[in-house]
Structure 1
Amino acid sequence: MPLVRNPILPGFNPDPSVLRVGEDYYIATSTFEWYPGVQIHHSRDLANWELLTRPLNRKSQLDMRGDPDSCGVWAPCLTHDGARFWLVYTDVKRKDGSFKDTHNYVVHAEAITGPWSDPIYVNSSGFDPSLFHDDDDGGGRKYFVNMLWDHRRRPHTFAGIAVQEFDAGSGKLVGPRRNVYAGTDLALVEGPHLYRRNGWYYLLTAEGGTGYDHACTLARARDIWGPYETHPAKHILTSKDSPHAALQRAGHGDLVDTPDGRTYLVHLAGRPTTQRRRCVLGRETAIQEVAWDEDGWLHVKDGPVPSLHVDLPGARDEDKYWAESLYTFGAGSGENARLPADFQWLRTPDTERIFETTADGKLVLIGRESIGSWFEQSLVARRQTHFSYDAKTVVDFSPADERQFAGLTAYYCRFNFFYLTVTAHSDGQRELLIMASEASWPLGGLAASTLGDAVSIPNDGRVELALSIRGKALQFSYALPDAADWADRELKKIGPVFDASIVSDECGGHQAHGSFTGAFVGVAASDLNGTAARATFDSFLYRPVRDESDRYEI
């Protein structure tokens, strides 16, 4: 089989849930505050994956306005019971501090591309739920599995893994809820998945938090209610004792069998850069081959440290991975506005208030709240999936004053972003200005500061905005495209070289294990006057760059 380099889903694609139906493989990953909710990728060979759908795409299913950074949709579980697809997910409304408001839902569909049902509310007792279909008893029972959160047990608030029967007909939990597994001394047990194999129930969990102590832990029992014994090695996958391994933060996994009987573990991992070990691309999805021993225990081949390369049924299309993408936009507004599949926005299901697309392939952003708002901001972006890249766009925007701005952003959350804006002085003179969250600087904070001096530009005409990232170095540039063909025009640098590694999990402004997304690049518009000023973007270019200093991508 071909040797394939991890990760198989680069960039922000954490908490993978994997499923095979016939010859088709699917992976569902968390999207947190990014809308629509849940990414489902498809593959026929485990090596090449295409984004297929985002099923939580309407207001009746998901409304995340007010959800803090790194809240929203956590840890989906995608399964199939032989007749239909099931998707379980959490919408987190609060995560910091003693309390967690974690609402768990189930949706289902006959086809993977939908239409997906309106959500069935299940419970709010914890997060990371999964749905297990147990058809070995002939009854086809379903069980809801999730971790329990106990706010009284600080600092040990992860109270164990609970199992309760789920009645699909009534859409309710029935019978007793039992705490079946407390985890190991690594603590923070979460992310449960149940399987049945050769008379055993296997419980795969995540432990150690989603930072550098993360791990996959396996346990098993003869009865679904336990007692569960922990794997002799405790953790079947972890990088916690191998600080120089290429794949760090390895954990939160799920298992899948191939038609020819092989078994693979998909899991999240991070690839830190710089001496400060910053994961700019966030938590990504990787894969490892596993094997079952004579005693019925699973072992990761060459594990437990995850391998950067793995044998898969297919070979990855490297040309496609390195291809540039020039995005244009389809005509429409609201539900009919057509963004390229790679793009998402933040929190709101009411898209008609934040963007529309035109018949000639342009994107119109309707200025709303400031960048970093938890409620309604006009920001459309795609994941950063390479450590080095170029991005550029052309914007037509006529701001009246300093409270209106639109432009190009490298964005993680309200705590860390860089933003090259077209704005105006208080006297109406149009200018270019770089903004960034103060968390990008040693003092920290929540304010957005201006960086460097503004550059005056003509009050009329389009402006080309660009950024280049080479590892940890970020440089903005600009040009006035109406003067020449934009493909051949030389850009002018603006501002200093910034530290791009700030746009990372480790600088997300939260406590340890508290920032869960990844770097995006895209366009945004704000109108703090409340007059909904419009900014029109011609197109968007994302060009991966092979950087010789990058040990991961060469």
Structure 2
Amino acid sequence: MTRIANPVLPGFNPDPSILRVGDDFYIATSTFEWFPGVQIHHSRDLVHWRLASRPLVRAAQLDMRGDPDGCGVWAPDLSYADGRFWLIYTDVKRYGTTTVNGAKGVSLRDFPNFVVTCETIDGEWSDAVHLNSSGFDPALFHDDDGRSWMLNMLWDHRPGRGRFAGIQAQELDGAAMRLIGEPHLIFRGTDLGFTEGPHLYKRDGFYHLLVAEGGTGWNHAVVMARSRSLLGPYEVHPDRAVLTAAGSTDAPLTRTGHGDLVELADGTPWLAYLCGRPVPGRARCIRGRETAIQPMRWDADGWLRTLEGDARPMPTPSAPDLPPCPWPNAGWDGKFDSATLPPEFQWLRSPEPDRLFSLTARPDALRLHGRETIGSLFEQSLVARRVEHARFTATTTLDFTPRSFQQAAGLVLYYNSTKFHYLAISTDAGGRELQLMTASPEREECVTLETLCPLPEGVIDLRAEVDGDALRFAWRSAGAGAWTHVGGTLDATILSDEVTVPGLPNFTGTFVGMACQDASGAGMPADFLSFRYEGSAESGAVD
């Protein structure tokens, strides 16, 4: 029997929206400040998944320059109607709290919601159309009467009002691409609070509303309610949560919530949901929020439940009875010998990648143009991939000769501007040197810079080795035998949602990649000749 090893989308892949069109399954996940926006994975058997598309690729769809850490693209929703795919998403522009009288907080946030469409999942998606800004986590429901509705959580910034004010619905005119009529508050949520992530389904004469509650931490949950009318009132599920790992910080799958349902051709319901995998004994999820799936059942009372009726996540559910469909192994060899960026990689915020990097300026190299300081919210040259494993190594070969102490380039493990470990080549009057820069909310000095050692001339290899909570950096002259470890053993777990500066959003996950800065403004480039990521396999089909 084939089993699925959850998560099916390892590494930072939160807030799944799952869709079936014929024999094809798709999952769209949040990308927050990483560009291009939204990841859409494709499967035909729910076991094997491949990255099919990142649809938000140009400024007319998404421009996140200036978006704070943890903002940008939240909770996309993927649907299919009228012969085309619909993608609706939030581009969060502000996440802030202002103190009032030293106690109550006014949280003024900006949540513009947009929609794009395309006839094919991997085609050129339309320019974005703004629909509203009343709250985040938008979703579309296409009813069987031909009408479509937009749902989103309603944000209330007024002190003492709860902020998470419930789920709002408003009709969408799909031809005109605009909302019509008045918005309706259809569900205020339960006492778990933090009601968000709505999805709506119709079955046996009921509208079933699926929401996320309990916050996106250890008490996260998938909650359901139903109504005979789309606009309510909604009756809460008798078990309230249909899926949760609340109460556990060390289970194989924790923080489970924010789900979406899909039905197989035979009517079997499956739930896609986000989860976390903490480092043992540390209650910290370096890989961020990931996507898992499992079968569910509709009971005789018309309510959805897990197969065991216990509302608990399944680390290794049995695969569905579908023809196996593994994708060809298109593994990348670590060389930059193509004019396009390997699909593993993304960059931060900017819809103008040509200002950040080039794959043609130097043959067989990724050239990063030195831009703003690491952690900039506008334009920084940082190209990286998701960390998917608890144990991995990342190695890069770098040709870089800085002329100023304001110029640096190297290998970085990056969560956001307040959490990273960065091994970089820079210079002073005496020649090139290796530096270690760390940003951590747990240090008295949030950002520290340490000079490690002088470097010889020529091309340099840099390496990161992570084993659970331990990170070690190393270097050598390119291909020249043994590695020299530097900087001691570092705490990799600071690169997690659970370590935070108070008041800042922490919803992403750790990336590892290449970076280049030039604070002088001269744009000094660095050439990366290769990059390799090697991890211990932890997900996929289990026979």
> Does TM, scored on the shorter chain, surpass 0.5?
yes
Q: From the superposition, tell whether residues 529 and 52 of structure 1 become closer, same or farther in structure 2 (CA, over 3 Å).
A: same
Q: Which residue identity is paired with 1:449?
A: T
2:527 matched to 1:536? yes
What is residue 173 of structure 1 aligned with on the other side? 179
Residues 375-402 of structure 1: CA deviation (Å, up to 9, x unaligned) = 0000000000001101101101111121
The Cα shift of 1:222 comes to 0.5
Name the CA shift for 1:469/1:166 in 2 (closer, same or farther; >3 Å): same
Contact map agreement 2:44 2:325 (CA 8 A) in 1? no
Q: Hey, what does 1:370 align to over in structure 2?
A: 373
1:329 Cα deviation after fit: 2.5
1:279-335: CA deviations, max 9, x gaps?
1000000112100011211001223111111112269999999x9853223554xxx
**Secondary structure of 2:181's aligned partner:** strand
The CA deviation at 1:511 is 3.7
- Partners of 1:288 and 1:475 in 2: CA distance: 36
Provide the C-alpha distance between the structure 2 equivalents of 1:3 and 1:203, rounded to a whole number of angstroms. 29
* 1:151-550 matched pairs, under 5 angstroms: 151-154=157-160, 156-302=162-308, 303-313=310-320, 326-332=333-339, 338-358=340-360, 360-425=363-428, 427=429, 429-439=431-441, 441-443=442-444, 445=446, 448-451=447-450, 453-458=451-456, 460-481=457-478, 486=479, 489-511=481-503, 514-545=505-536
**Structure 1 Cα separation of the partners of residues 405 and 420 of structure 2:** 19
Q: Distance in 2 between matches of 1:443 and 1:155?
A: 35
CA contact (8 A) 2:45 2:325 kept: no
| TM-score for both structures, normalised by structure 1 | 0.92
- C-alpha separation in 2, matches of 1:7 and 1:331: 31
Q: Using the TM superposition, give the Cα deviation of residue 4 of structure 1 relative to its aligned residue in structure 2, in angstroms.
A: 1.5
Letter in structure 2 aligned against 1:141: R
User: Which residue in the other structure is 2:59 paired with?
Assistant: 59
- 1:283/1:516 contact within 8 Å kept: yes
TM-score scaled by length of structure 2 = 0.93
- Per-residue CA distance 1:144-184 (angstroms, 9 max, x = gap): 00000000144611001011100012111111211000010
> Structure 1 counterpart of 2:449, which letter?
T
- Percent sequence identity is 49
Aligned-pair CA distance for 1:361: 2.5
- 1:48 matched to 2:39? The reply is no
Are the counterparts in 2 of residues 325 and 542 from structure 1 also a CA contact under 8 Å? no
Deviation at 1:431, TM superposition (A): 0.8
CA contact (8 A) 1:70 1:515 kept: yes
Q: Secondary structure at the match of 1:432?
A: strand
Is the 1:27–1:41 contact (alpha carbons within 8 Å) kept by the matching residues of 2? yes
Change (3 A) 1:148 1:362: same
- Is the Cα–Cα contact under 8 Å of residues 400 and 428 in structure 1 kept in the other structure? no
Q: Which moved more, 1:186-195 or 1:93-102?
A: 93-102
Contact kept, 8 Å, 1:143 with 1:165, in 2: the verdict is: yes
DSSP-derived class of the 2:384 partner: strand
Q: Kindly state the Cα deviation for residue 457 of structure 1 after the two structures are TM-superposed.
A: 1.3
* 1: CA distance, partners of 2:41 / 2:300: 34
Partner Cα separation in structure 1 for residue 325 and residue 494 of structure 2: 30
Aligned to 1:76: 76
Alignment check: 8 A CA contact 2:50 2:327 kept: no
Question: 1:501: Cα distance to partner?
Answer: 1.1
Task: Say if 1:4 and 1:316, in contact at 8 Å, map to a contact too.
Answer: no
Q: What do the CA deviations read for 1:81-139 (whole angstroms, capped 9, x no partner)? A: 1410000000001123211100000000011112100011000000000000012x2xx
RMSD, aligned CA: 2.1
Show CA shifts across 1:453-483 (max 9, x none).
Answer: 431112x3111101100111111000111xx
Deviations 1:201-237 (A, max 9, x none): 0000000110111100000001111111000001101
State how far apart, in whole Å, the 2-side matches of 1:95 and 1:292 are: 38
Structure 1, 235-244 or 21-30: larger mean CA deviation: 235-244
Question: In structure 2, do the counterparts of structure 1 residues 41 and 546 end up closer, same or farther at CA, with 3 Å as the change threshold?
Answer: closer
**Offset, 1:444:** 5.5
Alpha-carbon distance in 1 for matches of 2:83, 2:259: 25
| One-letter amino acid matched to 2:467 | R
Task: Output the CA distance in 2 between the equivalents of 1:118 and 1:85.
Answer: 14
Q: Which runs of 5+ in 2 are unaligned?
A: 98-106
Residues 494 and 320 (structure 1), Cα distance of their counterparts in 2 relative to 1, 3 Å cut: farther
Q: Which residue in the other structure is 2:104 paired with?
A: none
Q: Output the CA distance in 2 between the equivalents of 1:281 and 1:318.
A: 24
Tell me if structure 2 keeps the 8 A contact 1:477–1:494. yes
Using the alignment, how far apart are the partners of 1:156 and 1:101 within structure 2? 17
- SS of 2:20 mapped into structure 1: strand
State the alpha-carbon separation in 2 of the partners of residues 296 and 54 from structure 1: 37
Match of 1:26 in 2: 26
- Match of 1:310, SS? coil
SS of residue in 2 equivalent to 1:67: coil
Asked whether 1:116 is paired with 2:125, we answer yes
Rounded Cα–Cα distance in structure 2 between residues aligned with 1:55 and 1:506:
30
Asked if structure 2 preserves the Cα contact closer than 8 Å seen for 1:8 and 1:47, the reply is yes
Alpha-carbon distance between aligned partners in 1 of 2:247 and 2:432, rounded to the nearest angstrom: 54
Cα distance change on mapping 1:37 and 1:546 into 2, 3 Å? closer
Q: Is the 8 A contact 1:390 1:545 kept in 2?
A: no
Q: What number of residue pairs does the alignment pair up?
A: 528
CA distance in 2 between partners of 1:467 and 1:372 (Å) = 20
Report the Cα distance in structure 1 between the residues aligned to 2:3 and 2:72, rounded to whole angstroms: 36
